[in-house]
Amino acid sequence: MKKLLFTQKSDYPHWVGDGFPVRSLFSYNDLGKDISPFLLLDYAGPTEFPPTNHIRGVGEHPHRGFETVTIVYSGEVEHRDSSGGGGIIKPGDVQWMTAASGLVHEEKHGKEFSKTGGAFEMVQLWVNLPKKFKMSRPRYQGIKNENIPLVSLPNEAGTLRVIAGEYLGHKGPASTFSPINLWDIRMGAGHTTEFKVPAGHTTAVFVLSGQVTLADGKKIGEAEIGILSKEETNFTITANEDAKILFMGGEPIQEPIFGYGPFVMNSMQEIHQAFQDFQDGKMGSLGRIEGAE
């Protein structure tokens, strides 16, 4: 049975733009090698936004060398990027953006959500790309809630949505460049479920709300992430109260990680080149979408 190695949380929220009050649970600077292929987890909310005619969010900025995965629990996020990708991500939807060789994008609250206001909660993950794919063409996957398999956990313990990877034969719709399991789990208080993942894979449990206990008796609380051992295949989660959980698992990418701001590559030389390419306009702009007439 897998063991809990350590937990981590953030007590220092910060704003990304004026639309995302974020707690950063980890980044490539602290846990990049421990939690590969994942590079960063930002937890935005839960926050109540008042109605406004101003569209909150973060403006045009670049990325290269990885993917961003945005999971919306409440509220709306509207995205557009210089490769032509974009759309509105509503509750239950997921955006999987592959920056790869480079693009610029912006993320804003949806127009209708801005007008009405309300509860906002979102997770954004950064997922590393293997070296051979870092300079591939950018792409965008807008994954709707209705296309994500919803699976009942054994013994009526709750439900699990398969965003990426597989659970009990149900495959998620996200296309990934390395083996990844990404599950949105809801468990009822007092229930226990045993899960199985490939040996050697990174295993992380992020609790958005509630509290859970693992097989070794150690607890993970609200807005806290637990990193489990890689060696074994099985682990159990007991919900001490109703719990909302994001499970992240994947095959580690055994390559150097060099990151600076919005770029994550395999060497500092590649980071310098990314900045130069961005400054030279090679990642495009939102004023002129690549491929547009």
Q: What are the pLDDT digits (tens) for 5-23? A: 999 999 888 999 999 999 9
211-238 per-residue burial string, b: 16 or more CB within 10 A, e: under 16: bbbbbeeeebeebbbbbbebebeebebb
- What pLDDT band is residue 239 in, cutting at 50, 70 and 90? very high
Mean pLDDT of the chain: 95
| 102-129 pLDDT tens trace | 999 999 999 999 999 999 999 999 999 9
> In this predicted structure, what is the pLDDT of residue 33?
83
> In this predicted structure, what is the pLDDT of residue 32?
83
| 76-100 pLDDT tens trace | 999 999 999 999 999 999 999 999 9
Has residue 147 got a pLDDT over 70? yes
Q: Which strand (E) or helix (H) includes residue 272?
A: helix 268-279
What is the mean predicted confidence (pLDDT) over 179-186? 98
Residue 13: other Cβ atoms inside 10 A: 14
What is the mean predicted confidence (pLDDT) over 192-205? 97
Please give the angle made by the CA atoms of 160, 162 and 163, to the nearest 5 degrees. Answer: 130
What is the mean predicted confidence (pLDDT) over 263-287? 96
Point out the least confidently predicted range of 144-153, 202-211, 282-291.
Answer: 282-291
φ/ψ (deg, to 5) at 250: -175, 165
> In this predicted structure, what is the pLDDT of residue 290?
44
Please give the angle made by the CA atoms of 203, 28 and 65, to the nearest 5 degrees. Answer: 100
- What pLDDT band is residue 293 in, cutting at 50, 70 and 90? very low
In angstroms, what CA-CA distances link 54 with 45, 109, 112, 120, 144? 19, 10, 11, 16, 26
Q: What percent of the chain has pLDDT over 70?
A: 98
> In this predicted structure, what is the pLDDT of residue 289?
45
For the CA atoms of 258, 260, 262, 268, the dihedral, rounded to the nearest 10 degrees, stands at -50
Has residue 291 got a pLDDT over 50? no
What is d(CA 248, CA 264) in angstroms, rounded to the nearest whole number?
20
> In this predicted structure, what is the pLDDT of residue 31?
87
> In this predicted structure, what is the pLDDT of residue 45?
85
pTM: 0.95
What is d(CA 226, CA 4) in angstroms, rounded to the nearest whole number?
7
What is d(CA 155, CA 249) in angstroms, rounded to the nearest whole number?
23
Residue type, 73: Y
> In this predicted structure, what is the pLDDT of residue 287?
75
In SS3 terms, 90-153 reads as CCCCEEEEECCCCEEEEEEECHHHHHHCEEEEEEEEEEECCHHHCCCCCEEEEECHHHCCEEEC
Has residue 228 got a pLDDT over 80? yes
> In this predicted structure, what is the pLDDT of residue 292?
39
Termini Cα distance of the chain: 56
